[in-house]
Amino acid sequence: MSTVEKILLEFEPETRNLLPVLKRISAAFGYVSQKDAQKAAKYFDLPLSRVYETVSFYDLINIKKQPELTIEVCSGTNCAVNGSFEIIREIENLFHVKAGDENNPRIKLEIISCLGQCGEGPVVVVNGKVYTKVTVSGVHGILKEWV
Amino acid sequence: MENKIITKYWNKIDPLNIQDYIKVGGYDALKKFIRDMDARTALEEIKKSGLCGRGGAGFPTGQKMEMVAEKTEKKYFICNLDESEPGTYKDSSIVDNNPHMLLEGIIVSALIVGAGKAFIYLNGHYEKQKEILAHALEQAREKEFLGKGIIGSCYDLDIEIFQGAGAYVCGEETALINSMEGNRGEPKLRPPYPTDSGLCGKPTCVNNAETIASVPWIIVNGGEAYSKIGASCSPGTKLYILGGAVKKPGVVEAPTGTTIHKLIHEFGGGISCGKELWFAQIGGASGRLITENELDTPLTFSRDCPVPLGSGAVLIVDKSVNIYDLILSWTGFFRRESCGKCVPCREGTFRLHEIAGRLKDGEISERDKEALEDILWTLNNTTFCPLGKFAATAMSDAVEKLGILGD
Ligand SMILES: Cc1cc2nc3c(=O)[nH]c(=O)nc-3n(C[C@H](O)[C@H](O)[C@H](O)COP(=O)(O)O)c2cc1C
Ligand code: SF4
Ligand code: FES
């Protein structure tokens, strides 16, 4: 298991490495905690606020601990015309959640932007695993794998 | 006439094997550049070709390269492979099918502008493409197409992959540079343009991956031959990404100036069985809507073209599609992707998305309708970067051409 210190030492402390480092930390631990952000700030010799400026901007970096189950549904144009909003409504009803609600400690359902796999939409990502050509009925089977 | 340049060897060669590409004439452009040309003569060919940016804006590539080539300081070349316009996956298809053509284009372009270092700014989600490119870079280094003293010449070049972290606006070149410098990916005020002051304050040439992939062909076959392909205002071929209700969705290559009708019927195999065409959207979520009587419009990058080509995405929407869901797709996208730097876009995209929600629920009021007009105007005219304008495009067309608000 890698530690934040180890990840930091893989990179030179130059600001151009800040984004790659934060992305790596988020991927390794699920999110960038305040403690880790402080460590990064110290390593790069930047104010903590400056690290947060960057860390809070990007979709692929989390700053909060993620729930056990995160479901992301692409709502890009191509996925949308193939029914991604029906899938979203199906999942909302299934788990009694609302898309975009960040306060449920167990499940997060998120509407995301195009992933570039539009030819195989609708695309659903569950805890990082990508499912393509998902249908309203098929989504039940996919989610069963995870709950 | 040649109609396939970028896709010519797709599915015919092994993309992971540099030898396959070399066998079909790959890296000949680089060899020609090194042996028979110099940066000036190569630049002349690019200018003659009339090649213009495939990233959406259609800026003349030769002119941009020249602005950087003229500078004498240290400079950079960046291949823009952020590609996050919804419905667009042409640049990743280039990497999947023929990554060496892209690398050759980057190498030649970087040498033309005189950069010793080039970057590929890769979409944060493109993990597979990152592996393919890393592998291809290694092979190119082994063959001495990269590194110090490229195939025995005095040219040096290194290429590095920089991966984004999921933000649409980072495809905009100044935001892209901000993101590479470890900042928030917000656009910067232009001027100064990146060609004067880009990455680390140095002159930087940023080009779209598809633009760059056309460069080797131009070097080998000459600018004049390229300028004869497609529409004269913006010559060459273009990758179109067909999606929605067509029989054969996917990436196709056709000359610029091809009509939407032809794209649907000749390249896309026609409208899907049992579906009836309603309208088409050209250029992803930022694109305009085209109704049936406009399908004969040729698509070009010219400013005079009523339908800008944009990213080349062609979405065919049929009558069974729930338009309110599609509207939520547009407005939700821009609300999420607005970087928040300027008020008209940050607030405008938010309000637009709220109104789209009420429209869907059938709760839209007269006040909403009035506000909508103001919001669209504000987005269209007052935002800091073009993202704000993009956010208004499809919605304005939906109001005007589809009459989504009723009477
Ligand atoms: C909001 C926004 C997003 C953009 N996204 C991309 C993109 O994903 N890929 C791209 O090549 N250009 C994108 N562009 C255009 C770039 O700013 C730039 O014009 C382009 O990379 C220049 O390359 P070209 O001249 O070869 O087209 C975007 C522009 C804006 C305003
Ligand atoms: S228009 Fe939108 S994306 Fe562009 S700078 Fe303003 S807030 Fe950011
Ligand atoms: S629109 Fe969903 S992956 Fe592109």
Residue B7 is assigned to a structural domain of this protein: no
Chain A contacts of B162, Cβ < 8 Å?
20
Q: Let me know whether B120 and B252 are in one domain.
A: no
Interchain proximity A19–B165, CB inside 8 Å = yes
Q: Let me know whether B397 and B277 are in one domain.
A: no
Domain ranges for chain A: 3-57, 69-144
**Which own/partner pairs from A51-56 qualify as long-range (CB within 8 Å, at least 24 positions apart)?**
A51/A18, A51/A22, A53/B183, A53/B184, A54/A18, A54/A19, A54/A22, A54/B182, A54/B183, A54/B184, A55/A22
pLDDT value of residue B3: 83
**pLDDT digit string (tens) for B167-180?**
999 999 999 999 99
Nearest to B326 among A80, A113, A116 (CB): A80
What share of chain B in percent tops pLDDT 70?
99
Q: Which amino acid is at B391?
A: A
pLDDT value of residue B278: 97
Q: Say how far apart CA B158 and CA B155 lie, in whole Å.
A: 10
Looking up residue B375, the CATH number of its domain turns out to be 1.20.1440.230
Residue B1 is assigned to a structural domain of this protein: no
Q: Is B93 left (phi over 0), alpha (psi -120 to 50) or beta?
A: alpha
Where residue B407 falls among pLDDT bands split at 50, 70, 90?
low
In the CATH scheme, what architecture does the domain A69-144 have? 3-Layer(aba) Sandwich (3.40)
Reduce the DSSP state of residue B13 to 3 states and report it. coil
pLDDT value of residue B146: 97
pLDDT value of residue B2: 58
Average pLDDT, chain B: 96
Q: Let me know whether B36 and B167 are in one domain.
A: yes
Residue B249 is assigned to a structural domain of this protein: yes
| Distance from Cα B172 to the centre of ligand 1, integer Å | 5
Looking up residue B210, the CATH number of its domain turns out to be 3.40.50.11540
**pLDDT digit string (tens) for B22-57?**
999 999 999 999 999 999 999 999 999 999 999 988
**pLDDT digit string (tens) for B378-394?**
999 999 999 999 999 99
Q: What DSSP state is assigned to residue B274?
A: T
**pLDDT digit string (tens) for B206-244?**
999 999 999 999 999 999 999 999 999 999 999 999 999
Average pLDDT, chain A: 95
Domain that holds residue B333: 323-401
Best substitution site from B170, B334, B385, B389 to test ligand 2's pocket, by max atoms within 8 Å of Cβ? B385
Q: Which helix (H) or strand (E) holds A24?
A: helix A18-29
pLDDT over threshold 90, residue A28: yes
ipTM value of the model? 0.95
Q: Let me know whether B217 and B331 are in one domain.
A: no
Q: How many CA atoms lie within 13 A of A71 on its CB side?
A: 28
